[in-house]
Amino acid sequence: MNPLKILGLKKSEKHNYYELENKQEFFSGFRKLLVDLGFGEESSNIEIYSFGRPPGDDGEYILTKEEDINDYIDRHFYFENNNFRIDVVFGKKKIFLVINSDKDKQEKISEKVQKFCSFQPKS
């Protein structure tokens, strides 16, 4: 499976802005990005492990399934910790990722996003 492609990139004093192709693999890669940026561990942070996963009949998220990314079109989510605020906007053909941070953290963000965009889920 091919990694997610970065279709556009822009940086400013406090923002890294990415346009990514809209692919189903976004969810698993993005959850890993959140972990890499210090939002917590996927297994213990509901905000991370529930993202892109459907709830079961018991209200618990089904960790072995992912929701259809097409159901996320025109939706906005944000994640925030002490160092970053990440806004995710799902369009029909692109996913827009805006990461707000101090300028001294932007190189770290670029490295992590490049790792995320080269992420390929195990078959």
Q: Name the DSSP class of 113.
A: H
In this prediction the pTM is: 0.86
Cβ atoms of residues 62 and 54 within 8 Å = yes
Euclidean distance between CA atoms 23 and 100, whole angstroms? 23
Confidence band for 2, pLDDT divided at 50, 70 and 90:
low
Give the phi and the psi of residue 55 in degrees, each rounded to 5: -80, 145
pLDDT value at position 102? 87
- Average pLDDT score over residue span 85-97: 96
Task: Give 56's pLDDT tier (boundaries 50, 70, 90).
Answer: very high
Cα separation, 37 vs 41, in Å, equals: 10
Strands 85-90 and 15-21, by their bridges, are unpaired
